[in-house]
Amino acid sequence: MEILGSTFDDSVFSEVRDRVSVPLSSYNAKLCEPEWFCESTALDTDDPLETQKVYKFRGDLAVRQGKYQKALDAYSSCLEWIADNNLTIRRDVLEGMARCCTRLGQRDRALDLAELLSKEASNTCHLTSLLLLKISIYQHFGFLGSKMSSLQQLCSLLPFNPWHWNSLGQTCLQLLERDTTAGLCWPQRCKSADEQKQNHTQTEQQQEEAAELDKNHIWLKACTCFIRTRLLLRILRQQQSSFVLQRSENTLQSSDEALQQLGPKESTLQALTEVMSEDLIPDKMREDYQDGESLLSVCVQSFRERWWNKILQTGVLKTDCSSCQTQTDTKS
């Protein structure tokens, strides 16, 4: 009687056929001098890919040197040589152009380039990069209301990233420290009638968000963000060490100091902690919103749906408005 698994196929013991060895052709690596792409002869080529590389490298070098107009010109030239199917380089160059325009004070063009990138976003990596770009543009031009909106979208897309929550909390503090009406302005640009019609829905959403962002709401949102930051960092620091752990410890300390400055009641801290810790489940934190996932398969709840409505239902805004008013009066 044969024992299960004790028999072998005869082919296992057959001899291996002689393989025909194919000699490999010699490979000569291309040697390039430092900053070879800056030479005038670098563009003496009929290869579109080589021309694209030259302009791209020139733009990257100019950005590193702080020569943003020179970088913008190089990126603009590079864009003309990028193949239609090379979406990665195209997005990289468009983002570089937007950042150069920001540094040069060209607000409208920077926002137009960001809008162009938004139409081509197809996965979570694209959307994350786009939101970070918008945040940098809004920060540079002082549009803190728009920056807050983008940070809320970023926190909704990547809900377990403590640094985005900390940035959102710091933005709330900036809004509390300056005149609210000045801080809640949105970037306005002259647009045609067709463009205004296309952006009508977006404008209404921005106005609705701006209407809610009074000092009480901003104060409560700041408390919420720093509490969420603390919760996430306390979970993550168990797996951290060295300078990474030190950075988390420093952020934890600054979050505690910010909450002391905001001065919420103990009951408010407890209520907000309960709401913001509901989804902090280790398995879910590892699996949700993996990098590069298609946007079609990602269902991202808005900041309002996921957290804000629950926070307002606790009633802490009515019971702790005195703390908000005290902090506002102190700052003014």
82 or 192, which is more confident = 82
For residue 110, being part of any structural domain is answered with: no
Percent of the chain with pLDDT over 70: 76
Q: Is residue 30 part of a domain?
A: no
- How far is 134 from 249, CA to CA, in rounded Å? 28
Residue 256: inside a domain, yes or no? Answer: yes
Contact between 233 and 248 under an 8 Å Cβ cutoff? The reply is yes
In Å, what is the CA distance from 58 to each residue of 29, 52, 122? 22, 10, 28
The answer as to whether 134 is a domain residue is: no
Most confident segment among 116-130, 166-180, 200-214, 318-332: 116-130
Q: How confident is the model at residue 330 (pLDDT cuts 50, 70, 90)?
A: very low
Q: Let me know if residue 20 belongs to a domain.
A: no
pLDDT of residue 285: 72
- Mean pLDDT score of the chain: 83
Give CA torsion, residues 33, 37, 42, 43, to 10 deg: 170
Q: Work out the number of other CB atoms within 10 angstroms of the CB of residue 247.
A: 14
Residue 2 lies in a domain: no
Structural domains in the chain (count): 1
Q: What is the pLDDT of residues 54-73, one digit of tens each?
A: 999 999 999 999 999 999 99
Six-digit token string for 107: 């607000």
Q: Which two tokens stand for residue 224?
A: 């919420």
Calculate mean pLDDT across residues 164-178. Answer: 94
282 is in which domain, residue-wise? 172-185+208-332
Q: Rounded to whole angstroms, how far apart are CA atoms 290 and 125? A: 9
Q: Mean pLDDT throughout 196-225?
A: 69
pLDDT the model gives residue 332 = 41
Q: Tell me if the pTM is above 0.85.
A: no
Q: Is residue 26 situated within a structural domain?
A: no
Question: Would residue 107 count as lying in a domain?
Answer: no
Q: What percent of the chain has pLDDT over 90?
A: 56
Of 266 and 328, the one with more pLDDT: 266
Picking from 278, 280, 263, the residue whose alpha carbon sits closest to that of residue 313 is 278
Q: Taking 80 as the threshold, does the pLDDT of residue 262 lie above it?
A: yes
Q: Classify residue 66 as left (phi > 0), alpha (psi -120 to 50) or beta.
A: left
Residue 44, pLDDT score: 86
Asked if residues 298 and 156 have their Cβ atoms less than 8 Å apart, the reply is: no
* Mean per-residue pLDDT, 205-215: 60
